[in-house]
Each structure stands twice: as C-alpha cells, then as structure tokens.
Amino acid sequence: MGCSPPPAVAAKPAQSRIQRTSDGTISIEGARFEIPARFRHLRQVQIRYASWDRRHVWLMDETTGTALDRLYPLDRAKNAQAVRRPIKTTTPPVAAAGSPAGVAPLLRQLMQQYAATGLPPAYIPTSPKETDE
C-alpha cells in the first residue's frame, strides 16, 4: 500500500479474476499469483497488469480504481518446503448439532395420527426366513 502502479499498468483496463479459496491465489496467463491474506475474504478481485510484463500485477479497488496492493507470483519451490501454519477463519464455526433425541417431531406426529385411526400397522416386519441347505 502507498505505492501506485507504473503508468503502463495504470493505463490498462481492470480485469476480474475469481480467487481460489483453497490457497488464496489467482491465475494470470498460466501463472499463479498470491492474494494478500487481508483480501482472502474477497471471492472476485479486480487486477491490472501489462501483458508483456507480469512483474507488476496490482490488486485494484473496483469502486474507486485505486491500487490496493501489489501481487507477487507464487514461488512453488519455496511453498513446497515451507512449514504450514493453520489459516484462521474469520467466520465462527458452526455449532455442532446435538445428538438426535428419539424420533423426529414430524414423524412422531404422523405416527400419532396413524395410531389414532385404530388400524393395524401398514408394515409388519417379519423375521428373515431361514434357508434350508
């Protein structure tokens, strides 16, 4: 932040890319570029770059057109040797549902309605037949 893109890049139109949620990267002409962690929440990002010079790729604010940050290529060799740190999610985890307590409410209601008719059960389970060998 605080830097602005070179004039050759600033004159280029902004392009839209969808960020990979798994690793926070985007693809530009077959090369992957890392999105800074503070922009991981963005699904779609706007970028500007000169097609002949991918050393200067900029993440842009689509509403104001200002440069947010410079993007750097993903170093696959360094990335392969690095020790991973867990990425902290910004959304709170979903509370795990408690164990089911008996019969589901709608099924219980249907069973009560059926029992009120006085009819015998529609399905009577039988024991498996024993085969003679």
Beta bridge partners of 69: 59
> Is the predicted pLDDT of residue 33 greater than 80, yes or no?
yes
Q: How confident is the model at residue 98 (pLDDT cuts 50, 70, 90)?
A: low
- Supply the pTM of this predicted model: 0.54
Q: What is the pLDDT of residue 114?
A: 87
Q: Give domain 7-81's CATH number out of 2.60.40, 1.10.287, 1.10.1060, 2.40.50.
A: 2.40.50
Three-state DSSP class for residue 118: coil
Alpha carbons 70 and 59: distance in angstroms, whole number: 6
> Is the predicted pLDDT of residue 119 greater than 60, yes or no?
yes
Percent with pLDDT over 70 in the chain? 72
Instruction: Classify residue 74 by its DSSP letter.
Output: -
- What are the residue ranges spanned by the domains of the chain? 7-81
Question: Once rounded to an integer, what is the mean pLDDT over residues 83-99?
Answer: 63
Give the H or E element holding residue 28.
Answer: strand 25-28
Q: What is the pLDDT of residue 82?
A: 67
Q: Which of 2-11, 45-54, 117-126 has the lowest mean pLDDT?
A: 2-11
Alpha carbons 24 and 22: distance in angstroms, whole number: 6
> Is the predicted pLDDT of residue 99 greater than 70, yes or no?
no
- For tokens 């890049």, name the residue: 9
> Is the predicted pLDDT of residue 106 greater than 80, yes or no?
yes
